[in-house]
Amino acid sequence: MSSEAHAVHDTTTGISNNKLLMWAFLGSECLLFGGLISAYLVNRSRFHTGPAPGDIFDIPFTSVSSFVLLMSSLTMVLALSAIQRGDVRNNRIWLLATALLGSLFIGGQVYEFTTFLREGLGYTTSPFSSAFFTLTGFHGVHVSVGIVMLMSLVISSYRGTLTKKNSETVEIVGLYWHFVDVVWIFIFTVIYLVPSPTS
């Protein structure tokens, strides 16, 4: 266990300003995804002559992707736990594992989008397709940004600048990563698992 997990900071609130800022950012991100999910739910029955969501979604494939992203949250929290113990080597391994799992998820999303395009579902095919690609595409961009942040941490670690002293940086990147996972938990259930209209 890390007894220095949350030290008292010399700020007016006694908590880290950087963490507070990240939480404020995540709160605002809830609004962004709230808007995008609302737009999808309003438009999911408007597929006109294009493919309907119920006809095109590949639930087994997306389930595997979801599982991969869920497990990346475990590797992320293990990376944080390692750096808080001062275990730089394991921190690096878990950060790389998280980035790898995130990349697998993105690879799955690229495959899914390509399959949909081949089956006639383009970005402007219908209001449903526009809302779907915008929502899942925005989420994919967030995962990609997370991978870039994780790789920056790995590079810092190899340079010897990521140590127990600045473990808060890993914690803040971890918060972002877990948030991306939490959003996907919501998207996976509401968009994929709740029965969708068919043509």
- Positions touching other proteins (CB under 8 A) are 1-3, 5-8, 12-15, 19-20, 23-24, 26-31, 33-35, 37-39, 41-42, 59-60, 63, 66-67, 70-71, 73-74, 76-78, 81, 84, 171, 174-175, 178-179, 181-182, 185-186, 188-190, 193-195
CB of 29 to other proteins, least distance (A): 7
CB atoms within 10 A of CB 3: 7
- Residue among 17 and 155 whose Cβ is closer to other proteins: 17
CB of 154 to other proteins, least distance (A): 20
DSSP conformation letters of the chain: --TTTTPPPSSSSSS-HHHHHHHHHHHHHHHHHHHHHHHHHHHTT--TTS--HHHH--HHHHHHHHHHHHHHHHHHHHHHHHHHHT-HHHHHHHHHHHHHHHHHHHHHHHHHHHHHHHTT--TTS-HHHHHHHHHHHHHHHHHHHHHHHHHHHHHHHHHT---GGGHHHHHHHHHHHHHHHHHHHHHIIIIIISPPP--
CB of 113 to other proteins, least distance (A): 21
- Residue among 122 and 189 whose Cβ is closer to other proteins: 189
- Residue among 13 and 160 whose Cβ is closer to other proteins: 13
CB of 63 to other proteins, least distance (A): 4
CB of 159 to other proteins, least distance (A): 26
Q: What is the CA radius of gyration of the chain?
A: 19
- Residue among 36 and 147 whose Cβ is closer to other proteins: 36
- Residue among 117 and 182 whose Cβ is closer to other proteins: 182
